[in-house]
Chain A
Amino acid sequence: MIFFLEQLLNGLQYGAMLFMLASGLTLIFGIMGVINLTHGSFYMVGAYGAAVVTAATGSVVLGAVAALAGAALYGTAVEIAVVRRLYGRDHLYQVLATFGLILFSNEAMALLAGRQPRFLEIPPLLSGSVHLLPGLDYPVIRLAFIAVGAAVAIGLWLLVNHTRLGMLIRAGADDREMVDALGVDIRRLYTIVFALGAVLCGIAGVMAAPLLAVEIGMGERILIAGFVVIVVGGVGSVRGALAGALLIGLVDGLGRAYLPQIIQSLLPPSIADTLAAGLVSASIYVIMALVLLVRPLGLFPVRS
């Protein structure tokens, strides 16, 4: 039971991480119709910003601010310099250009920060574990991760449903030409949404930096899971991204925890180990396939 609860928390934490990445990805894909592979690079920029500035100044707060500002600036620059030219184009052009940007971002970061993985110590406030239940000590930083994920979800919900910007975002997702015709500067709106997506990645980067090695190419590792989340949730839907992130987070976590044990109890060990390892790696794609079979547009489709 304790083991299950701990794995549930682990799944939630991974879900929170995926949500911060996927919500930006889904907004950009859903509203602008752009497949943005560079999204993982914003996450990397956020993590590097936090690690480098915290190391230089000794202040975690300054590090976090620098990370978010860096991600926002880089996001804006990418939108203005490259992505803006690709809105009308075929997805293949977008994939090619943003893939090129991944290579560019990685090399640029290597030039700026070096190839050595950076290290960021967990701030004293968030280090160590708390005693949740008898036999269950859980790291504070992971709880904080879940809390930040929840705060981002609430903040995004308020932004999208209760502000003028959110109204424009929703309108833009529904009918781009009409919003444009009504006199809204759609280009500026797109830039803002793109930067917003980058900031969300930046938050994920800041939270991940003390837990993970801050290194070149760290964004690509999580990018594919991010795409799985938005496809499962329904492209363009923030609600869908939340549901998808939690589903994928829990499936991945519980799958990794229980699948090997279940399979090992059914099959001889030599087959079981290979099979379990393969199934665990594939579990999120299996879930995606199942969801798409039942609901081809994802759990919360934007347009029916």
Chain B
Amino acid sequence: MKTIAHLTILAGGLAASTALLVAPAAAQEVRIGFITTLTTPAGYLGEDARDAFKLALGPDGKLGKTKVVLEIEDDGLKPANAKQQADRLVQNGVKLYTGVIFSNVLAAVLPGVLEAGGIYVSNNAGPSTFAGEKCHPNYFVTSYQNDAFHEAAGLAANRVGYKKLVLMAPNYQAGRDALEGFKRAFKGEVVAEVYTKLDQTDFSVEIARVRSLAPDAVYQFHPGGVGINFAKQYANSGLSKTVPMLVPSFSMDARMVTATGGAAEGVYASALWTPESDDPASKAFVAAFKAAYGRTPTIYAQQAWDTAQLIASALDAVDGDLSKGDAFRAALRAAKFQSLRGSFAFGSNQHPIQDYHLTRFEKNASGEIVQKYVEKVAEKRGDAYADKCTMK
């Protein structure tokens, strides 16, 4: 089935490129460079983003009224690969880009694209480096600034009434940033900051330390497989009954919930969106994604969908003509699209201003663990870097 879908797309792509050769006057067709991570253990993130974006294109391959050709590249989570792919796409005249999942990959892709006058709309990564002084008129982030989840978790901890917290993250840039972001918003006392090794597999020592410190809760940020290990061992230690765990959503995505078995139950997470959202557009999206791919969409899918909707709204505003750069940018900045997250606007640095939620992993009626909304912890919140951005 999958092969057939691939063939159809391939055929569609071939037909499109022939059409381009025969009739170059068909300026209505827009090519979008979609560089993402499809292999490595993190490959499912890019898969979800790509699949949701394709879903947004629909059977006729259109965003809004404009026919779109996706140029999908797999960066293999290697910034150097991604840079080469971006350079090639730039040379081939691609003007519009999205897709990158990881911040370190984005840092390699972005400068080349922007220098060539291309426009980049980020569907996931939102590193602080490009949110402040180095913000750029051609660079939009529809997902979140990287610190946002951690700040939201800090706000959530305030709302729940936690006074004493232990913070835990791997000892690398993103880990330290995570804890900084959390502390920016958290008003209570941080009893201890525990830094783990990035390649650590066993957390018995850290869990024992949490037990001896007896905090109100523990905030931990461990991505991917490391996060699965942590959650499993935390649940097995019995500590989860007395010291609840708070995480940013991407430390406990839908696939990790499956891989940790029952360990996710009772975990709190800061979130922008979950598949449990009551929003009618969101419900329709989840149903359509499940019908098309047979799995529940992750936040990476939702963000890619929103990115596609934003691009669609801007393409419609210029009738698919990317040479009208200023009009296209203005249309993107206006953000006239329906976000599955609800309220959405761009701040002065073209990063989102949106609502943040506290969610909790609970069993639903059919016994599956799902991420339920508990309460809104911040309304129309921007990020800490917007003030430093002087858009030139």
Contact = CB atoms under 8 A, between A and B. Distances in A.
Contact of A10 (B40, B205, B236): B205
B259 interface: yes
Interface in A194-229: 208, 211-213, 215-218, 221-222
Contacts of B261: 119, 121
Interface in B202-238: 202, 204-206, 208-209, 211-212, 225-226, 228-229, 232-233, 236-238
Given A3-B212, A273-B195, A211 B233 contact: yes
Given A211-B202, A213-B225, A213-B259, A10 B208 contact: yes
Interface of A: 2-3, 6-7, 10, 13-14, 17, 115-119, 121-122, 127-129, 137, 139, 141-142, 208, 211-213, 215-218, 221-222, 253, 256-257, 260, 273, 276-278, 280-281
Interface residues of B, number: 36
24 contacts: A3-B208, A3-B209, A7-B208, A10-B204, A10-B205, A13-B202, A115-B39, A117-B41, A117-B228, A117-B259, A119-B260, A139-B236, A141-B236, A211-B233, A212-B232, A213-B229, A213-B259, A221-B199, A221-B200, A253-B204, A253-B205, A273-B195, A277-B171, A281-B171
Contacts of A7: 205, 208
DSSP class of A's interface residues: helix, strand, loop or mixed?
Answer: helix
A144 to B, nearest CB: 12
A252 B259 CA distance: 27
Contacts of B43: 115
B237 to A, nearest CB: 6
B201 interface: yes
B8 interface: no
Contact of B259 (A119, A216, A273): A119
B159 interface: no
B197 interface: yes
Contact of A218 (B44, B192, B201, B209): B201
A248 to B, nearest CB: 13
Interface in B162-218: 171, 192-195, 197, 199-202, 204-206, 208-209, 211-212
Nearest to A122: B236
Contacts of A208: 201
Nearest to B227: A213
Nearest to B197: A281
B185 to A, nearest CB: 19
Given A7-B208, A10-B205, A127-B236, A116 B228 contact: no
Given A6-B208, A10-B208, A257-B205, A215 B233 contact: no
